[in-house]
Structures are given as C-alpha cells and as structure tokens.
Amino acid sequence: MKKYTYTDKKDTRSGFGAGLHEVGKKNNNVVALCADLVGSLKMDAFIKDFPERFFQIGIAEANMMGIAAGLTIGGKVPYTGTFANFSTGRVYDQIRQSIAYSGKNVKICASHAGLTLGEDGATHQILEDIGLMKMLPGMTVINPCDYNQTKAATIAIADYDGPVYLRFGRPVVPIFTDPDQKFEIGKAWMVNEGTDVTIIATGHLVWEAIQAGEQLASLGIDAEIINIHTIKPLDEEAILKSVAKTGCVVTAEEHNRLGGLGDSVSQVLVKNNPAPQEYVAVNDSFGESGTPAQLMEKYGLNAANIVSAAQKVIKRK
C-alpha cells in the first residue's frame, strides 16, 4: 500500500476560495455571484481584488442562477456560490431551464455538501445533489477530495465550456494531493494499485479509503484505490480496467446510496463487466444534527466501514 501523509488540514471550501481568486487573476471574464454567504464560500479575496466582478444577490438563489445564465451571453464566466442544498434542490427548475437546457457556461459552486455540514442538520444538509445534477444532460459533476484538488478544479473549470457543478465541504480534512497538480476533468486518479479489491471513492471519502487501504494491507488484502473526482463524465475505462483485475468493487461517497457515484459505477459494470459491488453511502435517509465526525461514524462513512465492505465483497467473488 502506497503511503500518503499530510502536514496540514483545511476545508475544501477554502480551496475553492483560493482557486477562485487565482482564476480571477488569469481571466478577466470570470465573475462571481453569491447568495449572502460570502464568508462561508471564502470569496473574500476575490471580492477585495475584483469588486467590479462580484455580485451580491442576497438570499435569492433562483434569481442568482438566472442572472448567471444571462451573464454568459455577454461572454462572462460566472461562478455562483451558496450551500449545496440551496445550489441544487432549491433552484433545480432554474438550473434545468436556464442553464442546462441551453448549455450555459455557468459554474455552480456548492459548499457545505453532504452530512459534514454538521450541526445545521437535515434541512441544510443535502445527500441527493449528485443525483440531481448528474441527471441533467450536459452537466459536468465534480467532487474533489482535499484543499489542493478543490483549488485545482476551481481553476480548471474556467477553461471548460459548459455548465459545471462543483461540490465541496465545510470540515477541515487532510491535504494529501499535489499542490501543483494538473486537474483533468473526467480523468480518474489512481491512488494505489492493487489486485484483490477495487475501492472507488469521491470527495471526503477518498482519505477514508486510503486509511482503509492501510488497514486492509495489514490483513493481507491488496486494495486498488481510485479517486473519482469527476462523477460525470465518468472515467469508465479506469473503472473497467481495475475491476477486470480485482473482480470486485466498493464505492464510497458522502451521498445517498441512490443516485450517486455507486449507481454510476453499477451502470458501467452492468453494461460491460458485471462484478460484485458493495456501497459505502447513506442508506436512503436524511441526515441529522451532529459534529461531522459523529455523523460520519453514525452513517457508516469511514475507513472501518470501507474495510468491512471490502471484506464482504471479496467473499462474493
């Protein structure tokens, strides 16, 4: 098992803020819109240096999406910012009609995704957003794993022509990817090569998958770990190549078991190479209030549950 270490922890939303500021320096067409959550979205540096390119819309998320769609007609590259729940569920009609249907070049940037929003509870958490967004024709869906990868993704999507949903989070998590990485939309990252089981993880669950891989190695199980940061378009080639070798797969995500990464992987396998699969995800329920760590433990989104899933799926081969 390849060793991954970290010297610092940061929230992935701060990676978005740093990336937005950086891309603002490079591209004068980049503009930012926010629904009264500037601090939470870490947009302060962008606003300080480019005040004429920032629009505070207030608590009017649907209006924000419509304005963003309109700005693209004039050649702007708008980044919208609010919580994931308000970036998707609250404004799904506006995204579908005004952005996705006409292929508008809007970057929908969503913080506080999943359970790890924490104490704000189920009304502010969202576990359905990946499913909602990946079902929209032409929508690219990205869910990076740490600060560095989120920063790199934020920069990369400015050069991508088309609507993008970029998902990130609130809690501090280990920084373990390269600060100078090149982010390739639609290209999986091989975290660790192995032969016994494929573990496909996204977002905060990538670090948990790495910890699980180390635990499995101590049990004599050689896990192949893949970071799927782009859920749509999915790197089907990487998935099929890995599962052809290992013969089984575990998917791990901070999302509902229905409609997320696991479902996308299942579709690929069913069409090409059926194999046993286990899911590490929220089992079709809403969240609740609690610290991020408490919620990840209660809902089974941690290294221990990935280890258990890997052991179970290996027995099914």
**In the numeric block, which tokens belong to residue 135?**
């079902």
String of DSSP letters for 43-88: -HHHHHH-GGGEEE--S-HHHHHHHHHHHHHTT-EEEEEEEHHHHT
What letter would DSSP give residue 258?
S
Condensed to tens digits (0 to 9), the pLDDT of residues 263-306 reads: 999 999 999 999 999 999 999 999 999 999 999 999 999 999 99
What sections of the chain are H helices per DSSP? 12-26, 38-41, 44-49, 61-73, 84-87, 92-94, 129-134, 147-156, 205-218, 236-246, 261-272, 292-298, 303-315
One-letter amino acid of 146 = D
Enter the DSSP assignment of 27: -
Rounded mean pLDDT of the chain?
97
3-class SS at 223? Answer: strand
pTM of the model: 0.97
Decide: 196 and 208 in contact? Cβ < 8 Å: no
pLDDT in tens, 171-180: 999 999 999 9
Q: Tell me the pLDDT band of 199, cut-offs 50, 70 and 90.
A: very high
Distance, CA of 138 to CA of 160 (rounded, Å): 12
- Is residue 249 classed as helix, strand or coil in its secondary structure? strand
